[in-house]
Amino acid sequence: MIKTIKITELKPGMYINLPSAWRAHPFMRNSFTITSRKQIQKLVDYGIHEVNIDDVKGLPPDSVIEEVEELEKDFSDEYRIIAEKLNEVLTDKSMEPAKRAEAIHVHSADMMRNLWENPTGEKIAQFKSDVVGIVDLVLSDDTTNRHLLNITSYDYDTYIHSVNVGVLSLSLSKVLFKKENKHDMNALGAGFFLHDLGKIHIDEAIINKPGKLTPEEMAIMRKHPGMGFKLLHETRQISDENRLIVLQHHERYDGSGYPRGIRGDDIHVYGRICSVADVYDALVSKRPYKAPLKPFAALKLMKEEMLGHFHKDVFEKFVMLFK
The answer on 38 and 97 residing in a single domain is: no
User: Which residue has better confidence, 64 or 32?
Assistant: 32
Q: Is the pLDDT of residue 19 over 90?
A: no
Q: What does the angle CA 319 – CA 286 – CA 31 come to, to the nearest 5 degrees?
A: 125
Residue 240: what pLDDT? 87
Q: At what angle do helices 97-117 and 76-91 cross, to 10 degrees?
A: 160
The answer on 239 and 111 residing in a single domain is: yes
What is the dihedral sign for C-alpha 289, 290, 292, 297? Answer: negative
Domain assignment present for 61: no
Q: Distances in Å between the alpha carbon of 74 and those of 24, 71, 79, 128, 319?
A: 22, 9, 11, 22, 43
| pLDDT tens-digit readout, 126-146 | 899 989 999 999 999 999 999
Confidence of residue 37 (pLDDT cuts 50, 70, 90): confident
The answer on 157 and 13 residing in a single domain is: no
The answer on 194 and 49 residing in a single domain is: no
Q: Is the pLDDT of residue 295 over 70?
A: yes
Residue 169: what pLDDT? 96
Residue 28: what pLDDT? 57
In whole angstroms, what separates CA 104 from the centre of its chain? 13
Residue 29: what pLDDT? 66
Cβ atoms of 275 and 310 within 8 Å: the answer is yes
Residue 106: what pLDDT? 87
Enumerate the H helices of the chain as residue ranges.
37-45, 76-91, 97-117, 121-130, 132-140, 142-149, 158-176, 185-193, 204-207, 215-221, 224-235, 240-248, 269-284, 295-305, 312-320
Domain assignment present for 171: yes
Q: Is the pLDDT of residue 73 over 60?
A: no
What value does the mean pLDDT take over residues 39-60?
Answer: 84
Cβ atoms of 224 and 202 within 8 Å: the answer is yes
| pLDDT tens-digit readout, 210-265 | 788 899 999 999 999 999 999 999 888 888 889 999 999 999 999 999 999 999 99
Give the structural domain span for 301.
77-320
Enumerate the H helices of 131-268 as residue ranges.
132-140, 142-149, 158-176, 185-193, 204-207, 215-221, 224-235, 240-248
The answer on 220 and 141 residing in a single domain is: yes
Cβ atoms of 159 and 200 within 8 Å: the answer is no
Confidence of residue 74 (pLDDT cuts 50, 70, 90): very low
Task: Assign 190 to helix, strand or coil.
Answer: helix
Q: Residue 144's domain is classified under what CATH number? A: 1.10.3210.10
The answer on 204 and 99 residing in a single domain is: yes
| pLDDT tens-digit readout, 159-216 | 889 999 999 999 999 999 987 888 899 999 999 999 999 998 888 788 878 788 899 9
Give, rounded to a whole angstrom, the gap between the first and last alpha carbons of the chain.
54
Residue 212: what pLDDT? 84
In whole angstroms, what separates CA 62 from the centre of its chain? 39
Residue 64: what pLDDT? 57
What is the tally of structural domains in the chain?
2
Residue 305: what pLDDT? 94
Residue 114: what pLDDT? 85
Query: Which stretch of 28-32, 155-159, 227-231, 299-303 has the lowest confidence by average pLDDT?
Result: 28-32
DSSP state of 69: P
Q: Is the pLDDT of residue 66 over 60?
A: no
Structural element, H or E, at residue 33: strand 31-33
Domain assignment present for 63: no
pLDDT over 70, % of the chain: 90
What value does the mean pLDDT take over residues 288-298?
Answer: 86
Domain assignment present for 59: no
> What mean pLDDT, rounded, does the chain reach?
86
The answer on 93 and 139 residing in a single domain is: yes
Residue 79: what pLDDT? 77
The answer on 215 and 177 residing in a single domain is: yes
Q: Is the pLDDT of residue 86 over 70?
A: yes
